[in-house]
Structure 1
């Protein structure tokens, strides 16, 4: 019989800076609003994969289980890194205004009333 003498953790986290808004919709609802109709034969996993593929292709991020936030966050990632470190980055004010407009379009498509904010924190990977 093996005896465990310590604690081993395989979890990791990622730091992030996201310009976005809180969203409380199912993946199916988000997919329908952003992409379109869902094939009846698609199950929850395939909808999730298709949604994330669409978001990634359009440089949109969806963070779940973020510290200090009760809902998912969807938006544009301004900075992010895993392994506990956040690399240096910058964004000019005119570029930031363009990103606010982009996030506003996403918000409109999803029918969200949430305020656009700058989120920073860590999430489990």
Structure 2
């Protein structure tokens, strides 16, 4: 079963909606969990996705890139403004959710979508 760990910056009602949707699965393929510095078992890494919020104005923040380089499959919601409308945030996540599920089997490790957006994009990490 794939675990989807959701950053504590995601509003709790959004987490609840996603949990409720995935509780409708006949065969449980995905499990939603709130991620707040939880210890993740090394064996669970390959079968997990981490959803995080990034407030960096340009590009993706270094800690998130490092997380991806360490093998965490990471999906970043890029927020350009610190004021988030919780309804719009929920609608954004619900719009991209089918794409997140689709990419869960991808070998790529880093994807992003913009707050208010509709598309999930793969992110290439520049090697220095």
TM-score normalised per structure 1: 0.27
Determine which structure has more spread, i.e. the larger CA radius of gyration: 1
Highest RCO, 1 vs 2 (Cα 8 Å, sep ≥ 6): 1
TM-score normalised per structure 2: 0.27
